[in-house]
A = this chain, B = another copy of it.
Amino acid sequence: MELLNVLKRLRQRPQGKIILLVFDGLGGLPREAGGPTELGAARRPNLDAVAREGVCGLLDNVLPGLTPGSGPAHLSLFGYDPLVFDIGRGLLGALGIGFPIRPGDLAVRVNFCTVDPKTGFVTDRRAGRIPTETNEKLVAMLNAGVKIPGCEVFVRTEKEHRACLVLRADGLYDGITETDPQTTGKEPPRPVAATDARSEKAAAIVAEFARQAAAILKDSHPANNLLLRGYARFEKIPLLTETYDMRFAAIATYPMYRGVANLVGMDILPDAGDTMESEFACLERHYADYDFFFLHIKKTDSYGEDGNWDAKVHVIEEADKLIPRARALDPAVLCVTADHSTPCVLKMHSWHPVPVAIASKYERPDGVQEFTERACASGGLGRLRGIHLMPMLVANALGLEKYGA
């Protein structure tokens, strides 16, 4: 991509460290007319201090009106245009379970399903949401049983009826039709076909996998077959370490975020633990070893998805209390933002832009006094695409030369 190539030309050793705190799904909406958002309702003295000392704005991590999935949203925050780097669902599934994906791998989403033994028609596309333990047994049977010459086959459990398939061989492309009929009681799993010439090899392998899997599963009612969709070849992506002259570390409790960070060349710190507190402790332990830290806070999103207003407000307040630990490290640049909005009133990701604050010795304060969506909307950064955040952070650490003379 053009911008990444330009940045690569301008890279130079930065003069300080950068901490990027991403509150997943932070953006919200008022629950009553005239009321505050979740963020607006929270006591957040430390977030407000970052906003007051820095410069604020709003970010669109895809484009205005487009609701970002977690993968695309993080790619955007890391400076990759998610409309260019279109990471397919199969791949996000593999990243989500921490599968060590390699360039050229073909990742596929798997749903265990129920088919009528007589007609072969799909009767339940989720096999009654089998328990994850059942899923694990079926996955073990598939890994033991499927044999495809010249192709490595990896099946991994996600959760309930969902699993992930990774095929590894030369020349696997993802122009392949999905087998999920998207209806029940009317047709069997659809046949696999290539939609372009270069995907014919992969289509043949996927068809063979589907055939062997059906045979292996046929007596395992209710999950007596599977459906395949979301094919995604993993194309190598330019690494952050190639673009910038910096060492990048990711601190995240969920595999998905570790996966995306790893994809773009961050080192995944293994001792992040599973609480916000343990993540900040991890940041402190490793602070000397990297130039850039991505610290991901998950819970804000989870409570938004649940529609649990009080819990979302509470977790913002708890995270706010940890911010002084990041500030005490005295980074050149401290940035607080989100990947997307997850308003409690919607109980899902939304298209609303996310607030951002960048505190740095070299930013221009803009008079914004608090870290809320509304206050950030009148900030000095204005409203920007999320892909522009990363160059601004690196610029503030003096890690980019000027463009042209």
A351 adjacent to B92 (CB under 8 Å): no
Which residues of the other chain, B, contact A67 by a CB distance below 8 angstroms? 395, 400-403
- A3 contacts chain B at the CB level, 8 A cutoff: yes
Which residues of the other chain, B, contact A391 by a CB distance below 8 angstroms? 63-66, 351
B364 adjacent to A373 (CB under 8 Å): yes
Which residues of the other chain, B, contact A366 by a CB distance below 8 angstroms? 374, 377
Which residues of the other chain, B, contact A379 by a CB distance below 8 angstroms? 377
Q: Could you mark each residue 55-85 of chain A with 1 if its beta carbon is under 8 Å from any beta carbon of chain B, else 0? A: 0001000111111111110000000001100
A interface, over-half SS = loop
B381 adjacent to A351 (CB under 8 Å): no
Which residues of the other chain, B, contact A403 by a CB distance below 8 angstroms? 62, 66-69, 72, 82
- A197 contacts chain B at the CB level, 8 A cutoff: no
- A258 contacts chain B at the CB level, 8 A cutoff: no
Q: Could you mark each residue 334-353 of chain A with 1 if its beta carbon is under 8 Å from any beta carbon of chain B, else 0? A: 00000000010110111110
A390 to B404, CA, bound (A): 21
Task: Specify the chain B residue showing the minimal Cβ separation from A66.
Answer: B403
A377 adjacent to B382 (CB under 8 Å): yes
A392 adjacent to B69 (CB under 8 Å): no
Closest 5 CB pairs of A and B: A65-B391, A382-B383, A69-B404, A65-B392, A72-B404
- The interface of chain A, by Cβ under 8 A from chain B, is 2-3, 6-7, 10, 29-30, 33-34, 37, 53, 58, 62-72, 82-83, 86-87, 89, 92-93, 343, 345-346, 348-352, 362-367, 373-374, 377-384, 388, 390-395, 400-405
